[in-house]
Chain A
Amino acid sequence: MQVTLSQFIAAVVVEDGGDASQRGRVSGGAPIFYVRDQAERQRLCLLLEKVLLATPHDLQNGISILVVH
């Protein structure tokens, strides 16, 4: 029998604008990736999507989450 996990956050992608002090905005159990700007966030989301088979969702505050549905 195959067991799979679903409905969980596989990764979090956060824009910090190159400013390490911004990193306090997000923490928690999922892997967190810091990126410089919007373009890099889009790029990383696409790359992670292909690896994790997870759907990127934009939280509109400079943070994207990848969720396995």
Chain B
Amino acid sequence: MEYVPAIVAAVLSGTWTRWFMLRVDYRQYPSYPEGYTIHLAMGFIAAFLGAMALPAILSHHYEAATFLALAATQFREVRSLERDSLAAMEETELVHRGSAYIEGIARTFEARNYLAMLASLLSSLAAVLARAWWPSPFVSFGAGLGIGMGGGFLMAHGGRGRRVGDVALVEVAPLEFEGPLLKVAGVIVMNVGLDSARRTLQEKGLGAVIRPHDADARATLANLGQRQAIAHDCAVLLGIHKDVDEPEFTPLVRRNSDTGEVVVVIVPDKKEPEALLTAIRHVPLLEAAIRKPTEATAGRMAQRERE
């Protein structure tokens, strides 16, 4: 009975942490209620395991540590479950997410269970310590809940990762035609054969150029998975003027090999340049795409050559 307030506080704050992170991430989630149920249930289990660990060890049940290992196996399942379901839905997307984005989302979902577990561990630690210091179940519960939720909040925010807008400057760029060639900021994006498609692109299309701040950003933005993620997010957030029989209106993300700049062309539902810029700036940098050549000697030497 001694540890009941600690366990309850820890389970509550761990589950709350998982819920909070579900909310933060509306874009990466197909948002059906079943999805919420699955992830909240997993979060609850994670929180419960995190909550039990400390009281179990204090009652000399050291085998509790093995349950944490069991949990890790379970949450790896979450990753493959998430990856499989997103990959299965890929065919139904007008603009694909791309395997790099799917992998990133799957990893994020796995990591979030660990964060929920960590938050509840923190919470139970705080509750147990508070109880040792002030022998009241209410103080213990309050301390556990406060520290657990606070810690969960900080972890959810700290674990958000960087976005395209953090490493590059995003600007509007006009669409230009040179014969059938569609060009944005000097980059040839594609050859548009139909006059009617060229007119639509000129009237309704939007272009943007992403100028990376440094060599690391240049390398990251060159990644095809990162570029597909940009195309997908823009299409989802702005809506897209396209059907399967209009392949030329697929949003395209092309690179200027000379400068490392990346250009985006999209025909959105509504022509709203600011919305496009915001959408691009908020695209997460994918873990699979992030490169840091300047961290290595050879990368820095190559950089000197460039300048």
By a CB distance below 8 angstroms, the chain A residues around B91 are 2
A56 touches B193 (CB 8 A): yes
A63 to B66, CA, bound (A): 69
Q: Classify chain A's interface size.
A: 10 to 19
A57 to B181, CA, bound (A): 9
Taking a contact as CB atoms closer than 8 A, the residue among B179, B180, B192, B245 that contacts A53 in the complex is B245
By a CB distance below 8 angstroms, the chain A residues around B247 are 49, 53-55, 69
Interface residues of A in 7-62 (CB under 8 A from B): 42, 45-46, 49-50, 53-58, 60
A45 to B190, CA, bound (A): 17
A42 touches B245 (CB 8 A): no
Interface residues of B in 252-284 (CB under 8 A from A): none
By a CB distance below 8 angstroms, the chain B residues around A57 are 180, 190-193
Minimum Cβ distance to chain B for residue A60 (Å): 6
Interface residues of B in 212-258 (CB under 8 A from A): 244-248, 250
By a CB distance below 8 angstroms, the chain A residues around B297 are none
A46 touches B194 (CB 8 A): yes
Starting from the known contacts A49-B194, A57-B180, A57-B190, 20 additional A-B residue pairs (CB-CB under 8 Å) come to: A2-B91, A42-B194, A42-B195, A46-B194, A46-B196, A49-B245, A49-B246, A49-B247, A53-B247, A55-B193, A56-B193, A56-B248, A57-B191, A57-B193, A58-B179, A60-B180, A64-B193, A65-B193, A66-B193, A69-B250
A to B CB contacts below 8 Å, 22 in the list? A2-B91, A42-B195, A45-B194, A49-B194, A49-B246, A49-B247, A50-B245, A53-B247, A55-B193, A55-B247, A55-B248, A56-B192, A56-B193, A56-B248, A57-B192, A58-B179, A58-B191, A58-B192, A58-B193, A60-B179, A69-B247, A69-B250
